[in-house]
Amino acid sequence: MELREEAEDQQRKTDRGRRSRPPRQRRTWRKALKRDWRLYSLLVLPIIFLLIFRYVPMAGNVIAFRRFRPGGSMFGDEWVGLRYVELFINDPTFWRAFWNTVILGGLTLAIVFPLPIILALMFNELRSRRFKRIAQSISYLPHFMSIVIVAGMVLQLTALRGSINQGIQFFGGEAIPFMQLPEWFRSIYVSSEIWQTVGWGTILYLAALTTIDPQLYEAARIDGANRWRQIWHVTLPGIRPTMIVLLILNIGTFMAVGFEKVLLLYNPLLYPTADVISTYLYRVGIISSNFSYATAIGLFEALIGLTLILSANAISRRAVGTSLW
């Protein structure tokens, strides 16, 4: 029974493709449910999950515009308009966090985004497969570590008696209390981000590299292109779609700079450079219980992120014809 319907369905599809007959009436929901109710039953729990744990919190953002009382409704009790928005717009601490977020996000995008491409090209030039495999395995390793472990390592290396300061003292310098000086935080954050993510980031590029047609290299060589020109004219264009997709994704997460990592690494001495929007809203919301105010900040941040990814996607689709959707 199911099978026959499926065959008919297939027939209908090809009919529509050929336009030899006018398409038959579209299958109604009633028919679809009757036929596929077992498949729909598999959807029930996941959809309930998404509704409760993803879409209800989205609706919960309404408390950015309503006064929330602990113990009251999770959607707030009364409308207060843009009160909380005005509050953060006039809040200097918010603006410090905002600019810290933009700077850290911008540095991460500018420095951490291109490095996996370079590393993938470097791996690609290795002739020894064994060496290549071992080097890759090592470079992925930090990706599998808990962020708590990563933070622990950063604190250990930057400690007053840590390896970095030992190196500085070995060359006759003075030990630097890195974790007490705000001017060092950005370098430490970006370096640890490089350490943790670059190796893992090469995977997709290496996969893209294997799909490049070897004949293109052949042709380039016949045209007299040396190794550099081959990389420039064959390899880089070959991985361009992957680069663009990953760039769009990175732009989309621009504002969501490593909240957990910052939270684990920073301390009040570092707030001038380390406090980002998400850590500020964590302190305002969870520690000081100003739920509505923190939600307004969070909503602002999420909307910037959404706008960024939508515009990056649209621009990329227009300009180079590659997009996420």
The answer to whether the beta carbons of residues 172 and 109 sit under 8 Å apart is no
Q: List the x/- string, 283-302, binding to other proteins by CB under 8 A.
A: --xx----x--xx--xx-xx
* Listed ranges 1-9, 91-99, 103-111, 182-190: which one lies at the site for other proteins (CB under 8 A): 1-9
The answer to whether the beta carbons of residues 121 and 206 sit under 8 Å apart is no
The answer to whether the beta carbons of residues 249 and 310 sit under 8 Å apart is no
* Residues 64-83 close enough to bind other proteins by CB under 8 A: 68, 74
DSSP letters for 218-272: HHHHHTT--HHHHIIIIIHHHTHHHHHHHHHHHHHTTTS--HHHHHHH--GGGHH
Residue 275 C-beta: closest distance to other proteins, Å: 15
Which residue number, 109 or 324, has a Cβ lying nearer to other proteins? 324
Interaxial angle between packed helices 182-210 and 240-252, expressed in degrees from 0 to 180 and rounded to the nearest 10:
150
Q: Which of 212, 260, 304, 317 binds other proteins (CB under 8 A)?
A: 260
CB atoms < 10 A from the CB of 242, how many?
Answer: 19
Q: Classify the C-alpha dihedral 36-41-45-51 as positive or negative.
A: positive
Residue 166 C-beta: closest distance to other proteins, Å: 5
DSSP state of 142: G
Q: List the x/- string, 162-201, binding to other proteins by CB under 8 A.
A: xx-xx--x---------xx--------------x---x--
Q: Which of 82, 89, 110, 138 binds other proteins (CB under 8 A)?
A: 138
Residue 99 C-beta: closest distance to other proteins, Å: 20
Asked if 156 touches other proteins (CB under 8 A), the answer is: yes
Give 67's strand partners.
Answer: 78
* Residues 87-126 close enough to bind other proteins by CB under 8 A: 119, 122-123, 125-126
* Residues 220-249 close enough to bind other proteins by CB under 8 A: 221-222, 226-227, 242, 245
CA angle 284, 287, 62 (to 5 degrees): 50
Asked if 49 touches other proteins (CB under 8 A), the answer is: yes
